[in-house]
Amino acid sequence: MYKRFENLVDPFAPVAETTPPAQLWPYIRTQLAPFRRWLPWMAVLGVLVAVMESGLIFYSGRVVDLMTQSGVGSFWTDHGLEMLLAAGFILFARPAIITLNHLFLEQTLASNMQEQARWRAHKHLLGQSSSFFQNDFAGRLANRVMQMGPAVEDSTYMAFEGIWYASAYVLGALLVLNQIDWRLALPLALWLVAYILYTRHIARKVSHASEKLSETRSMVTGRIVDAYANIESVKLFAHGRREEDYAQSAMRRQRLRFQRFLRLMTSLTLGLNAINGMLIVGVVGPAIWLWTQGLVTVGETAAAAALTIRLNGMTGWIMWVTIRLFEHAGVMREGLQSIAVPHGVTDEADAKPLAVTQGEIRFEDVSHHYGKGKGGLDHVDLTIAAGQKVGLIGRSGAGKSSLVNLLLRFQDAEQGRVLIDGQDVSHVTQDSLRAQIGMVTQDNSLLHRSVRANILYGRPQASEAEMVRAAERAEADAFIASLEDPQGRTGYDAFVGERGVKLSGGQRQRIAIARVILKDAPVLILDEATSALDSEVEAAIQETLYGVMEGKTVIAIAHRLSTIAQMDRIIVLDQGRVVEDGSHEALLAEGGVYAGLWARQSGGFIGLDAAE
């Protein structure tokens, strides 16, 4: 039975690739859309449950009057069948209705909406460009995604279980009191107006305070995660105390905002009890007076008192639910600051997969200054023939990374076009583009998963034998066999730690190279691919990489010029422009920038004084 209701909605069902609404209510509507078929059931059942509860109190007053009128001798004779039917309703019909209500609320709604909100937020963030993540704390983004799920789910659940139920209950109470005597319904109506106005006044303050509190909570999480993710730097520079102070300053701010939030809660308690006192006196007092005048019965007086006391008990809960709703609203608004950001790089509606037949790369009058008017690339025209091996050099800031980022379409060029086999990369799907490009960087981070999972990331459908062969070619098989993690997993099953911290830089690099070897993409980018390796391993890896390069179009970025001297062609970038282009021998013969860099390098690296 439970699974039947749990599976009425699939929280992971495909949805249109659109930016979530930045406004709160439109965002909530998008989250409610998969549940729209079942929301009317939840609404109707909520009203039935509330009416039953207020009706039971009213009926208990009727029972008191029947007992008073019939007396002990004839009560069961006169009203036995009615009592039997009432008992049957309480024992069977009432539990069935309440259970059905909770099956929809808990199994259908609550069990699915939390993960739906998290999944959609996470899916949208995964589609953001690399620069989006470079401009924020990973911890803060993760905190916003994780908080969004409970905030959306709890708000919707409490709206039905709390606000909707309470509204129906109060309406039922008004009808019952009006049925007894309109003069008893009037104080309840006046109290309801005062209660709504007071709740609205406090809730607005709570919503603002909650949003500020959520911001500081995300800040604390971001700073703590940042320290943990860079713990080696913290230890190397002996800045543990500095990190303590950095996190503590955020925690102090969070503490102040939490204290302000709690002050509102205390003020709320005081006002609520004052308003509730008015309710009890305003309804029970007149009920007793009407009884003394013979206008209402003892049972009706008891029912009025019971309804009022029950409502008094509910008001604290209703107020708490209302405040929680506004608190969640603040959390959601804070989360939408990241989650509702449009993607910086998007696929066109009719984008086709990239089809690489040869591997020619062409940059046509490409300029990209990151919106600053300078830096990056400036009117670059460059063609790399299919299967050609090109070395790319230049001092820091010359535009090497910009060239690669535009080829991978991490950003869109501000001017000009980048083409692969005549296909503009901005007109093909991003996934198909990057699937055709293998890249090894000087700082390859690994996923906190097994060695096997990290290598297979290059080609998940590869066989075990192909995966092991890639590791062997990357000179990684020997050290992998000796790995063991704290859980006792060994070899290819051993986990490498967050970002691969359990491995040395050279070991991470060799696994990253094995991953690219397994991917076997037609275009290969090497960005200081062997910089983390010792000389002996580097020599072996270089031979492997030369083998991997066969039949591929290759762009190799290096400061160690000896590693690219054997390339078919060397491109020299300076201030975003191509200043030299030719073979190693030809450029040395020219006696230009490359020849100067070659002459000045020490140990094979571009010297820091190269600009002089």
Residue 157 structural domain: 24-29+37-339
In a domain, 213, yes or no: yes
**Residue 121's domain is classified under what CATH number?**
1.20.1560.10
The Cβ-side half-sphere exposure at 603, using a 13 Å CA radius, reads: 3
- pLDDT tens, residue by residue, 289-320: 888 888 888 888 888 888 888 877 777 777 77
C-beta separation of 307 from 56 below 8 A: no
Q: What is the pLDDT of residues 1-18, one digit of tens each?
A: 899 999 999 999 988 888
354, part of any domain: no
What is the reported pLDDT for 611? 38
In this structure, what are the phi and psi dihedrals at residue 384, rounded to the nearest 5 degrees?
-115, 115
Alpha-carbon distance 584 to 566, whole Å? 7
477 within a domain of the structure (yes/no): no
567/554 Cα distance (integer angstroms) = 9
**Residue 161, in any domain of the structure:** yes
What pLDDT digit, counting tens, does each position of 564-587 carry? 888 999 999 998 999 999 999 999
Mean pLDDT lowest among 55-64, 165-174, 316-325 = 316-325
What is the mean predicted confidence (pLDDT) over 328-344?
A: 89
pLDDT grade, residue 536 (50/70/90)?
Answer: low
Q: pLDDT value at position 93?
A: 92
Tell me what percent of the residues of the chain surpass a pLDDT of 90: 40
The answer on pLDDT for 477 being more than 60 is yes
- Mean pLDDT confidence for 409-415: 91
Strand order in the sheet with 423-424: 377-384, 361-368, 415-420, 423-424
- The letter for the amino acid at 533 is L
Residue 337 has pLDDT above 70, yes or no: yes
Task: With residue 416 as reference, give the H or E element that holds it.
Answer: strand 415-420
In what side-by-side order are the strands of the sheet with 569-574? 437-440, 523-527, 553-557, 389-393, 569-574, 577-582
Q: What is the pLDDT of residue 555?
A: 94
In a 10 Å sphere around its CB, with 0-12 CB exposed, 13-18 middle and 19+ buried, how is residue 259 labelled? exposed
Per-residue pLDDT tens digits for 121-160: 999 998 888 888 878 878 888 888 998 999 999 999 888 8
376 within a domain of the structure (yes/no) = no
CA-closest candidate to residue 140, choices 340, 435, 312, 339: 339
Structure tokens at 606: 């571009």
Would the pLDDT of 461 be above 70?
A: yes
Alpha carbon distance, N-terminus to C-terminus of the chain: 78
Per-residue pLDDT at 605? 47
Residue 594 reports pLDDT greater than 50 = yes
How does DSSP assign 482-517, residue by residue?
Answer: T-B-TTS-BGGGSB--TBTTTS-HHHHHHHHHHHHH
The C-alpha angle with vertex 47 and arms to 43 and 52, in degrees rounded to 5, equals 150
Q: Is the pLDDT of residue 603 over 50?
A: no
pLDDT digits (tens, 9 = 90+) for 32-50: 999 999 999 999 998 898 8
Render pLDDT for 220-267 as a digit per residue (tens, 0 to 9).
888 888 888 788 778 877 888 889 998 899 899 989 988 888 888 787
Q: Give residue 608's pLDDT.
A: 40
Residue with tokens 């909605």: 9
Instruction: Provide the CA 22 distance to its chain's centre, in angstroms.
Output: 15
Q: How confident is the model at residue 490 (pLDDT cuts 50, 70, 90)?
A: very high
- What pLDDT, on the 0 to 100 scale, is given for residue 521? 94
Q: Considering its fold, how many domains does the chain have in total?
A: 1
pLDDT, tens digit, for every residue of 176-201? 888 888 888 888 888 888 888 887 78
Looking at every residue in the chain, the average pLDDT score rounds to: 86
Strands 361-368, 415-420: pairing kind: antiparallel
CB distance 343 to 128 below 8 Å: yes
List the structure tokens of 609.
């004084």
Give the helix/strand (H/E) hosting 208: helix 182-229
252 C-beta neighbours (distance < 10 Å), count: 12
What string of H, E and C letters represents the secondary structure of 324-350?
HHHHHHHHHHHHHHHHCCCCCCCCCCC
Q: What confidence score (pLDDT) does residue 531 get?
A: 65
Collapsed DSSP state (helix, strand, coil) of residue 409:
coil
Residue 320 lies in a domain: yes
% residues pLDDT > 70 (the chain): 97
**Any domain includes 162:** yes
Q: How many CB atoms sit inside 10 A of residue 375's CB?
A: 14
pLDDT at 313: 74
**How confident is residue 488, by pLDDT bands cut at 50, 70 and 90?**
very high
Q: Which of 275-284, 425-434, 576-585 has the lowest mean pLDDT?
A: 275-284
Query: Does the structure show a pLDDT above 80 at 462?
Result: yes
For 506-522, how does the pLDDT look when each residue is reduced to its tens digit (9 = 90+)?
Answer: 888 889 899 999 999 99
> Is the pLDDT confidence value at 413 over 70?
yes
> How many Cβ atoms sit within 10 Å of the Cβ of residue 212?
19
pLDDT at 516: 92
153 falls within a domain:
yes
Q: Using alpha carbons only, how large is the chain's radius of gyration in Å? A: 35
